[in-house]
Amino acid sequence: MLSIKDLHASINGKEILKGLSLEMGAGEVHAIMGPNGSGKSTLSKVLAGREEYEVTSGTVTYKGENLLDMSPEERAHQGIFMAFQYPVELPGVNNTYFMQASLNAIRKARGEPELNSLNFMKLVRTKLKALEMNEALLKRSVNTGFSGGEMKRNEILQMILLEPSLAILDETDSGLDIDALKMVSMGVNSLRSPERSMLVITHYQRLLDYIQPDYVHVLSGGRIIRSGDKSLALELEEKGYGWLQEEAAA
Amino acid sequence: MDAVEQQLAELAKTGYEAGFVSNIESETVPPGLDESVIRYISARKSEPEFMLEWRLGAYQKWLQMEEPDWAHLKYTKIDYQAISYFSAPKSAADAPKSLDEVDPELLRVYEKLGIPLEEQKMLAGVAVDAVFDSVSVATTFRKQLAEAGVIFCSISEAMREHPELIKKYLGTVVPQTDNYFAALNAAVFTDGTFVYIPENTRCPMELSTYFRINERNTGQFERTLIIADKGSYVSYLEGCTAPQRDENQLHAAVVELIALEDAYIKYSTVQNWYPGDENGKGGIYNFVTKRGVCAGDRSRISWTQVETGSSITWKYPSCVLKGDDSIGEFYSVAVTRGAQQADTGTKMFHIGKNTTSTIVSKGISADRGQNAYRGLVRMNKGAENARNHTQCDSLLIGDKCGAHTFPYIEVANPTAKVEHEATTSKIGEDQLFYCRQRGLSEEDAVSMIVNGFCKEVFNELPMEFAVEARKLLAISLEGAVG
Ligand SMILES: Nc1ncnc2c1ncn2[C@@H]1O[C@H](COP(=O)(O)OP(=O)(O)OP(=O)(O)O)[C@@H](O)[C@H]1O
Ligand SMILES: [Mg+2]
C-alpha cells in the first residue's frame, strides 16, 4: 500500500524528517507515537501533499505510484485521507455542502456518478446514525466555532463518507471525552478492511485499546527509532521515550 | 500624448467645430459639452420644457463644481470635452451576425455562467430574429404589470407620458447639485428606467426577470427613478452577471428611490463592467450616485450589490430614514483584482424615531486590487432610539492588494446606538490545503471560501441571481491564487 524509504523533508530550510522509512501493507493499522515536535504531523502533511514542506530526498510509493508527484487533490482522489490535528475553519461554508462537494469531486475524478443533494443527505444520515452524531453540526459552517471534540468527530464523519484506502489520523483522539473517543474508534473500526490501511498518530495508548494496531512505531528526531507490536505502546506508557532515545543515540 | 491620441484629439476637435447644430439629423453628437448639447438631447427626447430648464440648471452648477478627490482612488483625469454626450442606438448592420463573430473569451465566460444560447446572443449584441420566444414572454410580462397598475418604462418615456410624477419626484432624493457626477448626469442623462408601484400593490414579478429577456441598452449616463407608493413592494435588479463591454469609459449613473408609508423597495445590483487589462487600461470608470429615501413611516429600502467589474468604482448607495420606524439596509460584495480600485460603501441618515439600519460590507482584494469601504452613519437629533449595526469584513488574497476602512459615525441623539465591527482576513494556505486534501481543486477551494465569506450578502439576492453571483465570483477570481 505505502512504502516510505529514507525520507528527508524540511520546512523553511529546517530539516524535520531525517531519513524516515516505513512499510505499510494493505489492511494494516499502524500506530505512530513519539514526543512533541518529533515530526509526526510533518509526516502526515508530507504524505497529504502540503506544498510548504520540501522533500529533499527519499521516495514514497503509494499503490505502486510515486506519491510525491501528485497534487494534494490527486492524492485525495487516489484515496488518501488525513484527519487534521487542527481542523481548519471555513466561515460561511456550509458543512453539508462542503462534504458533498468533496465526495463529488472525488467521485468525479474516479469517473463515478456524482450524488445529488437528496441522495447525499440520505447517505450522511446513515453515517451519522452509525456514529451517534448530532445532525446540528451539518447545518453549521465547516469547523467554525466547533468545540475541539466536535471538530474531531466531524473529521471522522468525513472519513467514513469518503471511505479512503489510506487514512492518516493525526491525534484524532486528543481532547476527546470518553464517549467521543469510543465514537471515533467505532468509526475507524467500521472502516477496517483488507484493502484499507490506517496510520494512527497518538500520544495515548488508551486509544490503542479501542483501535488495535498491527504495528506500533516510535518517531523521534525525524526518524522511526523503534517498531514493535501493541506491547510497545504499553511499554512506552510505563517508561516514556527517554530510554529509546538514549538507545537510538548510542 | 502619443501619436494616436493626438490624432484622435484633433479629430474630436474638428468634429466639434463642425458643430452638430447644422447637422441635426446626425446620430452621434460630436464630443464636447455646452448648453447646445443639452438642448439637443432634450429636444431629441421630446422632453417637456421644465426638463430642459432642470438640465440647464444642473449644467450651470456643474460648471462651478470640482471633481471630488477624497476617495481612495488613483486614475488619470477625465476629459469631459472628449466625451460624446448623445448617440442613438447602434444599427443592426453593425452588430455581429452570429456568435462566431463574438470575442471567444466573452463566450467562454457566458458558458461558465450557464447563460442559455439565445440570451448569449442578446448579451453579445448579435442581431436576433424578431420572431423569438422572449418577445412574446415580454409581452405577457408587460400585460401583467399593466394589470397591476405598475408603470415600468424608460425614463424618457416617463417624461413624456407621466410628467406630473417626474416633476414631483425627479431630483428630490439626489438633487441636481448633489455632487459633481450627479450634476453631470442631471445635465446630460439619456437613458434610464422609471418605475411606479401604486398603493398597496405588490409588483407581480421581480423586475429583473423582465430584464433578463430584454436587451438593455445601458448608457453612459443612466438615470433611474423608482417610486413605491403606500404599502407597496417591488424588487428591482439592475445589471447582469455577464461581462459587459462598452467603449465609453466614464459611467455616471444616478438612482433615486422613494418609499412611502409601509412600502418596501429591494434594489439589487450586479455590476460586471469591463475592468480593463491587467493594468486597468480600457476599464470602465463607474461613478454612481444611488440614494433612497424612506419617506413614510415603517418604510424600508434595501440595497444589495455585487461589484466585480469596472476599473474604478465610486459608489455609496444610501438611505435617508425620514419616516418613523423605517429601515435601511446595505449589503455589499466588492471584488477588486488586477489594477481594479473600489471606493464604496453607504450612508445611513437617521432622521425619524426608531429607525434602524444594517450594513454588511464584504470586500475582496486580489493581485494589486484596492478596496475601500467608506461608510457614514448619522443619527440626527430627532432620531430617538435609532439603531445601526455595521459589519465590515475584508478578505485578502495574496499580499500586494489592500483593504481600507473609513467608517464615519455622527451621533446627535443620546438614545441612538451605533455598532461597528470590522475584520480583515487572508485566505489561508491552511484553508486551501484543507479543501484540497478533501479532493477539491485549488480553484474550487478559493471559490468556496470566498462564497462562504460573502454568504450574508448573497442571501439577500433574488434566488436565481444568487446562483449566478456565486459563479461570477468564482470566475472573477480565477487564477488569483497560485
Ligand atoms: N513552519 C515551520 N517553520 C519552522 N519549524 C516548523 C514549522 N512547522 C513545524 N516546524 C517544526 O517541526 C517540528 C516537528 O513538528 P510536528 O508538528 O511535525 O511535530 P509533532 O510530532 O506532530 O508534534 P506534536 O506531538 O506536538 O503534535 C517542530 O519542532 C516544529 O516546531
Ligand atoms: Mg502533531
For residue B18, what is its C-alpha cell?
463642425
Put simply, whether B437 touches A (Cβ < 8 Å) is: yes
How large is the ipTM? 0.96
pLDDT of residue B240: 65
pLDDT tens digits, B328-340: 999 999 988 888 8
**If pLDDT is split at 50, 70 and 90, which confidence band does B124 have?**
low
For residue B189, what is its C-alpha cell?
442623462
pLDDT of residue B208: 67
Q: How many CB atoms lie within 10 A of CB B180?
A: 17
Query: Under a CB-based contact definition with an 8 Å cutoff, are residues B244 and B272 in contact?
Result: yes
For residue A15, how far is its CA from the centre of ligand 1 (angstroms)?
10
Residue B17 pLDDT exceeds 50: no
Alpha carbon distance B227, B238 (integer Å) = 16
The Cα angle at residue B59 between residues B54 and B62, in degrees rounded to 5: 125
pLDDT of residue B180: 93
- pTM equals 0.80
**Domain annotation for chain A: domains and CATH numbers:** 2-249 (3.40.50.300)
pLDDT of residue B10: 43
What are φ and ψ of residue B420, in 5° steps? Answer: -130, 125
Nearest to A227 by CA among A28, A94, A87, A47: A28
**If pLDDT is split at 50, 70 and 90, which confidence band does B260 have?**
very high
* DSSP letter string, A54-82: EEEEEEEEETTEEGGGS-HHHHHHTTEEE
Put simply, whether B439 touches A (Cβ < 8 Å) is: yes
Mean pLDDT of chain B: 82
Alpha carbon distance B345, B334 (integer Å) = 10
Alpha carbon distance A19, A56 (integer Å) = 10
Sign of CA dihedral B37, B40, B46, B52: positive
Written as one letter, the residue type at B11 is: L
Residue B393 pLDDT exceeds 70: yes
pLDDT of residue B39: 92
Q: If you average pLDDT over residues B426-430, what whole number do you get?
A: 86
Residue numbers in A near B454 (CB within 8 A): 92
Residue B311 pLDDT exceeds 60: yes
Residue B103 pLDDT exceeds 80: no
**If pLDDT is split at 50, 70 and 90, which confidence band does B101 have?**
confident
- Please state, for a pLDDT cut of 70, what percent of chain B lies above it: 80
Q: How many CB atoms lie within 10 A of CB B402?
A: 17
Element spanning B456, H or E: helix B455-458
Higher pLDDT pick, B424 / B433: B433
Contact A92 B456 (CB under 8 A): yes
Q: DSSP letter at B222?
A: B
Query: Under a CB-based contact definition with an 8 Å cutoff, are residues B65 and B180 in contact?
Result: yes
Q: DSSP letter at B24?
A: T
Residue B204 pLDDT exceeds 70: yes
Beta-strand runs (E) in B242-326: 250-251, 254-259, 264-271, 285-294, 300-307, 312-315, 318-321
Q: If you average pLDDT over residues B464-480, what whole number do you get?
A: 80
Alpha carbon distance B191, B286 (integer Å) = 16
Contact A76 B444 (CB under 8 A): no
pLDDT tens digits, A89-145: 999 999 999 999 999 999 999 999 999 999 999 999 999 887 777 788 899 999 999
Residue B434 pLDDT exceeds 80: yes
For residue B198, what is its C-alpha cell?
401604486
- Please state, for a pLDDT cut of 90, what percent of chain B lies above it: 42
Q: Report the residue of chain B nearest A89, measured CA to CA.
A: B431
Report strand pairing: B151-154 vs B193-197.
antiparallel
Residue B448 pLDDT exceeds 50: yes
Residues of chain A with pLDDT under 70: 250
Query: Shortest CB distance from A91 goes to which of B433, B434, B453?
Result: B453
**If pLDDT is split at 50, 70 and 90, which confidence band does B24 have?**
very low
Higher pLDDT pick, B213 / A247: A247
Q: If you average pLDDT over residues B203-216, what whole number do you get?
A: 62
pLDDT of residue B74: 83
Three-class SS of residue B48? coil
